[in-house]
A and B are shown apart, each in its own frame.
Chain A
């Protein structure tokens, strides 16, 4: 089951930028690509927990600001030779608003 909640306007995030959603289960980084696609990942690099929300967004990837690991926005997986994966959260955009699936988070914290 999904539980879509409105987290804010698409315009609240710069293209090729990110903002954070604070939750009881930790911070979620919400990214907007140059094509206005929106993705959400746990705001923690699989390497040393760097804040992915502060990285440079390019194509459908983000580069962690601490040690330049490149993480796929679609799968949360580290690219190239690095190994590791960050959790993804489903999002969609409707009428200029960003919706995020909170059910995934709750399930994750319950597990």
Chain B
């Protein structure tokens, strides 16, 4: 009998031996070495062992009996020290030599450990084998123990879910922007995150680790890039695997990323084969079980001298976390000429995306309802022509002309206690009750519940509740939708972001049933604003969803150059500032210098790549961004007031500076301009501003909703007050009310026309508690946004203003 030595008792070699013995039990005498002190078990079932759904005994695939029955000499717990290919022997650690006719490498892979400071502390482990699993189960046995998992991929999330099921407090730290970024797109990643968060797992995406802190050699906390600490008693690294090729390399086999094999699974030596995670075939390496089993079949045939060829196939992924239903298959990420079909059902938390190339399906991502996953996977593998069924493809094999997506699904899905009308505290259930008691139109709902009877922002939602409750008996008035990506209006979207607590763009797209993959140039800036206005601490501003002026903090001109306007607080400046502006204008060849209507100086014609440098120069003189490009606070124009003017009644300049320093940096639905005039002669033109203050002997007159652009409109009086402090608080509260309620791109005067000045007065003047609350929320937002974007960009993002490559330099060489 010929002699076969196998190195590694894993899933691939186990399957190869099964095929070998099935085909010819007497062909080889087998010696099996394994570094782990046990035989083959089903490694992909470690997660159910961790979560307690299975025991180790249940996942053993080859027991002692099986090895005995097939005459396998088992040398478990023994490593191979050396392979001598010339003499065709392997040398065990204890010096024993075992001769072979054929050798099979199945050395698998090693978990990758990030070399963070402290990675060798006790309690820092990978998630790879039974020992790791037992270590995790041990750690979870201590009541109140905390775990951190680095890595939000398949393995990391299974580890996190298992630890959570055992009662640990678990945080997942993931470098990329969404979970399982290699298998899922943003929308599916969002749904997964939501499901895991619901079961009490904390998730931190876009988060980088800095070091691991310990005490007496035991892990105590993970320190993040931003300096914050996550206390933990167990730290699991699940950031990927590396093929285990050291032995093969030392033996002289050809090794690249892993051990090179041909289509017959033969390495660079004709009598040596390799299988599993340690092989590289046509440039690819393998981590999922399906291709390993295909390889195992080929190995068995090759060993028996039969013809067989390993062919790489598409793979599919499923997460083994009970209750998180996701599926991904094929290639849904890269490539040109591809089209998407997206289906979302917010009510059921379902997301499906198919990627089509020509007339074939090449990729599929599904969340929530994966019943058709294998059918799609079959279409991908077989490259089936789907031209005929394209229209209905996404509904799966069972679809026979059913209903289309209901645009009102988002409202229909709201629970009875979801608040529809924030002004009057009316829930969906109250409205439904009123309808059941006989109300059939908006007027009746307003009369009986007060819903939408105050600011009116929720009118669209109330109508949708009417429609979904009454069915065909209620004809829905057509509201203007945000854009082609959705049937919902701006008002609907704003309310739903608040009631459903949507805190990211993928959350909005999914939960509100967006029809496009990632929005468009119309909805993205609006949604970005709504999210940062409603969730200033949780949501991170997305520059890619901003118009170029707000992304580059300068105004684009028709020739592609930019204008730069530094802030002059309250219209005041100094000789030093003027000198710095003049120097910058000369240094950067600024062709046009213009004095603006907002009492500052505009440098026009600055080249895009010069922006960070000119900002850095202006910063040195203490000048910061004037936000002349933003839907946000622009200027506070002032007159010189009683300091100089013989008619001045108050310190209008001082108040203007205070207001500007308080409000600057805030984002608003449209631009906001202020002015403070020192007397009713109104030299600062305060009565045509969004907020205008006119000083009088007895105090301050505050007007709002003025305009002097496409429309010209005088402000309406909001309040008369006696102190600067009141002006400041009312201005803050008004800004916040506008930020929280107005439609994107409505200036205050347009918004006030819709909600009524009386309602605004109730909110910011009459109700003192509410005024305070609004001003406090404004301040929370300002804790993030009251800063100079120029300084930040000049220091941290200057590189992005430059071309990624300059080929003209290369040509000149």
Contacts and interface: CB of A to CB of B under 8 A. Distances in A.
Interface of A: 5, 7-8, 12-17, 19-24, 27, 30, 34-37, 39, 48, 50-51, 54-59, 61, 63, 65-66, 68, 70, 74, 93, 98, 102
Contacts of A15: 177, 544
Given A7-B807, A21-B803, A56-B525, 9 more contacts: A8-B804, A17-B543, A21-B806, A34-B517, A34-B518, A58-B524, A59-B516, A66-B558, A102-B807
A14 B800 CA distance: 9
B556 interface: yes
Interface in B482-529: 516-521, 524-525
A20 B804 contact: yes
Contacts of B560: 50-51, 54
Interface string B155-194: 0000000000000000000000100000001100000000
A14 to B, nearest CB: 6
Interface in B783-813: 800, 803-808, 811
Contacts of B552: 54
A24 B334 contact: no
A33 to B, nearest CB: 8
Interface in B302-356: 332-338, 340
B314 to A, nearest CB: 17
16 contacts: A20-B804, A21-B804, A21-B807, A22-B805, A23-B811, A24-B808, A37-B336, A54-B560, A57-B544, A58-B517, A58-B520, A59-B518, A63-B521, A65-B547, A74-B337, A93-B334
B548 interface: yes
Nearest to B336: A74
A26 B524 CA distance: 30
B545 interface: yes
A24 B340 CA distance: 36
A13 B802 CA distance: 11
Contact of A54 (B336, B338, B548, B558): B548
B804 A19 contact: yes
Contacts of A14: 543-544, 800
Taking residues whose C-beta sits less than 8 angstroms from the other chain, chain B's interface range is 35 or more
B805 A48 contact: no
Contacts of B332: 35
Contacts, number: 106
Contacts of A27: 803
Interface of B: 177, 185-186, 332-338, 340, 516-521, 524-525, 543-548, 551-552, 556, 558, 560, 608, 800, 803-808, 811
A38 B200 CA distance: 37
A13 B516 contact: no
Contact of A22 (B334, B340, B807): B807
B805 A8 contact: yes
B803 A19 contact: yes
A30 B337 CA distance: 17
Nearest to B339: A60
Task: Rank and list the top 10 A-B pairs by shortest CB-CB distance, nearest first.
Answer: A63-B521, A19-B804, A16-B544, A7-B805, A54-B548, A56-B521, A65-B548, A8-B804, A23-B807, A20-B803
Contacts of A21: 803-807
A17 B544 contact: yes
Contact of A24 (B520, B608, B805, B811): B811
A37 B548 contact: no
Contacts of A54: 548, 551-552, 556, 560, 608
A92 B70 CA distance: 51
Contacts of A7: 804-805, 807
B518 A16 contact: yes
B463 to A, nearest CB: 29
B797 to A, nearest CB: 10
Contacts of A61: 520
A24 B808 CA distance: 5
Interface-central residue, A35, A36, A65, by most chain B CB under 10 Å: A35
Contacts of B544: 14-17, 56-57
